[in-house]
Amino acid sequence: MFATPAYAQAAGAASSGSSAGAIVSLLPLVLIFVVFYFLMIRPQQKRMKALQDSVAAVKKGDTVVTAGGLIGKVTKVDESEVEIELGTNTKVRAIKATLAEVRPLGSTKPAND
């Protein structure tokens, strides 16, 4: 059986077209990853960086919220721990990494407003 030149050219064109088809079929996956990065991953990284910076800069007098939901005023700051006053004569020690939010001094509103 003889292969005609026209058949050989058609086979060559089909093989080069399949690589372009593979790129086109991967394009939606790449586009989805880019959208996820800019809409979900990058903002989350920014929030985590801001939280780490605020926890590292916590100082006496700041109001903090722990991961367990306790809200109190910082009375003492160590390298890796903080002492939090939850109420009158009620103080607890917490690891800095467990702080979920740091509210700067004077940022809380009175309860009756």
**Average pLDDT rounded to a whole number, residues 85-106:** 90
- Give the pair of three-digit tokens for residue 82: 């903080």
Give me the pLDDT at residue 69, please.
92
DSSP state at residue 70? -
pLDDT tens-digit readout, 65-92: 999 999 999 999 999 999 999 999 999 9
102: Cβ contacts below 8 Å, ≥ 6 apart: 51, 54, 55, 57, 58, 62, 63, 64
For residue 88, the SS3 value is: coil
pLDDT in tens, 35-65: 999 999 999 999 999 999 999 999 999 999 9
pLDDT, residue 47, reads 93
For 54, counting Cβ atoms within 10 Å of its Cβ (0-12 exposed, 13-18 middle, 19+ buried), the class is: middle
